[in-house]
Amino acid sequence: MLDIVYQDKDLVVCVKPFRVLSTDEPGGMPDLIREALGRPHEKIRTVHRLDQVVGGLMVYARTAEAAGELSRQIRAGSFAKDYEAVVHWRPRDDAGTFRDLLGRDERKRRTYVAKEPGKGIQEAVLHYEVLANRRGHSLVRIALETGRTHQIRVQFASRGMPLAGDRKYSKYPDPEGWEIALWSYRLDFAHPTTGERMVFTMDPPETEPWKWFVGSVPR
Catalytic annotation, pick one of 51, 82, 166, 174: 51
d(CA 9, CA 42): 11
Known catalytic residue: 51? Answer: yes
Write out the chain in H/E/C secondary structure.
CCEEEEECCCEEEEEECCCCCCCCCCCCHHHHHHHHHCCCCCCCEECCCCCCCCEEEEEEECCHHHHHHHHHHHHHCCCEEEEEEEEECCCCCCEEEEEEEEEEECCCCEEEEECCCCCCCEEEEEEEEEEEEECCEEEEEEEECCCCCCHHHHHHHCCCCCECCCCCCCCCCCCCCCCCCEEEEEEEEECCCCCCEEEEECCCCCCCCHHHHCCCCCC
Opening angle at CA 58, ends 33 and 127, nearest 5: 170
d(CA 9, CA 26): 23
Residues with catalytic function? 51
